[in-house]
Amino acid sequence: MKIENLRSEQRNNRVRVAATVIWEDCDRPDQELYFETDEEFAQELSCNPHAFLVACLMPAMRHGEERVFIDAEICPELRDGLNTTMCWMRHWYDRYGPGYKPPRIEASTQHQVGSLTKPPRAGFLFSGGIDSLATLRANRLNFPLEHPGSIKDGLLVYGLEVHEPKKFEHVVNSVSVLAEDAGVTIIPAYTNIRSLGPDDNRDFWLYFWLNEFMGAAFSAIAHAFSKRLSVVSINSCHDIPNLMPYGSHPLINPNYSSSDFRIRHEGIVLSRLAKTKLVSGWDVALQHLRVCNKIEHYQPGMLNCGKCEKCVRTMLALLASGVLEKATAFPNREVTEELVNSAVRLSPSTYAMYEELLVPLKEKGRHDLARAIERKMAMCNEPEWKKEWRKRVVRPISEFDRLYLNGSIRRILKLVSA
């Protein structure tokens, strides 16, 4: 892979930094990779080669490129970090095999640190979800506003899960209320970083994003704003007892730092329930929380469908925290056993998030919800043959029952087992 022709461009009411990406060892066409922001922040966006290198390295590794050449000078600290990251990925994932050689990074070495003289300024990835709001809430509670570690800016990204302008406008409007209440400046960031993989391949992005690319993508976007920011926090997905190989990880994200720009992995000491309890003390957050990725359901003032796995998981945690009735960010604040049965699909990355809900739900008398979660946990622990049987036999029957029999089979089975 070659990354060349780094450039800055004016694009109507936005400014863009871009580079040409040339694939050398896989059958993919040359393409443009870009980062944009609104004209208001034009002076804050830089054509930083680190942004393009960090963005391209994991896709190059996944697609089998032998090298990544960039026509620019890079920080030796970042180079070391990227090589370390590739070694972790090779160690974690069998797909690369014991004899696999990660791509070589070919670039000139930066002899001077870019901008250590700039005033320190902290930012974070501001999605509006539980992880990001917990990061902001903890920062406001623990850091005086005048401290250099006090978060001043939130990067709100278009082009990852949100890729429709009208839907993004709804997100901006909602997150702006949170930002104003917390005293944070929102910086919109637009990117086509997903084009580095097959954009329409859901399975590829589901696994590649979660396992390898998440931290790199966020870090690349952050590097594009290193002229303004000196440190950016990436919100943790898991707490210390539940760490696992993952694309956003405390052993991975700090490796995307350079000598003059730090990436922090934030919130690792808090479980998802602990983060939810932290956010539950912030009324504005309960009114503007955004956890749902079903962007087709986004409406002005309502960004959660209330029916998908992420919505249901969050509502369960809010219920366990005693604040679900205040969470007007959800269209329906009633969680039933049937809703848990239909929406929840446990995975290794979410298992602990549900397990920690059992005791507080039982303490609140919601034994029905606890039972539903326990059944999901038991299914998650089933042998592979049984999971496959459920997938191929039970799930199609259940779907047929729901669509055409109005749940008659489920009700009969429930009566028989009572």
For the stretch 50-59, pLDDT in tens is 999 999 999 9
Do 257 and 328 share a structural domain? no
User: Beta strands 185-191 and 31-38: pairing type?
Assistant: antiparallel
pLDDT in tens, 269-284: 999 999 999 999 999 9
In a domain, 140, yes or no: yes
In a domain, 275, yes or no: no
In a domain, 393, yes or no: yes
What pLDDT was estimated at residue 249? 96
- 411 vs 388, which has greater pLDDT? 411
User: Beta strands 231-235 and 122-125: pairing type?
Assistant: parallel
Do 242 and 330 share a structural domain? no
The DSSP annotation for 5-64 comes to EEEEEEETTEEEEEEEEE-SSSS---EEEEEEEEGGGGGG----HHHHHHHHHHHHHHTT
In a domain, 301, yes or no: yes
Indicate whether 331 pLDDT > 70.
Answer: yes
Do 232 and 328 share a structural domain? no
Do 185 and 306 share a structural domain? no
What pLDDT was estimated at residue 390? 58
Q: Give residue 343's domain range.
A: 293-381
Low-confidence winner among 144-148, 200-204, 240-244, 327-331 (lowest mean pLDDT): 200-204
Do 171 and 134 share a structural domain? yes
**Mean pLDDT in residue range 216-245:** 96
Do 152 and 201 share a structural domain? yes
Indicate whether 112 pLDDT > 80.
Answer: no
**Number of structural domains, the chain?**
3
What pLDDT was estimated at residue 405? 80
**Mean pLDDT in residue range 37-66:** 96
In a domain, 281, yes or no: no
Q: Does the reported pTM lie above 0.85?
A: yes
Do 326 and 261 share a structural domain? no
Indicate whether 141 pLDDT > 90.
Answer: yes
Q: How far apart are CA 27 and CA 63, in angstroms?
A: 9
Do 117 and 43 share a structural domain? yes
Indicate whether 414 pLDDT > 70.
Answer: no
Do 359 and 234 share a structural domain? no
In a domain, 362, yes or no: yes
> Cβ(37)–Cβ(189) under 8 Å?
yes
Q: How far apart are CA 370 and CA 386, in angstroms?
A: 23
Do 140 and 76 share a structural domain? yes
Q: Is 245 helix (H, G, I), strand (E, B) or coil?
A: coil
Do 392 and 327 share a structural domain? no
In a domain, 309, yes or no: yes
> Cβ(192)–Cβ(34) under 8 Å?
yes
Q: Report residue 285: phi and psi, to 5°.
A: -65, -40
Considering the chain, what is the average pLDDT of its residues? 92
In a domain, 202, yes or no: yes
Do 375 and 414 share a structural domain? no
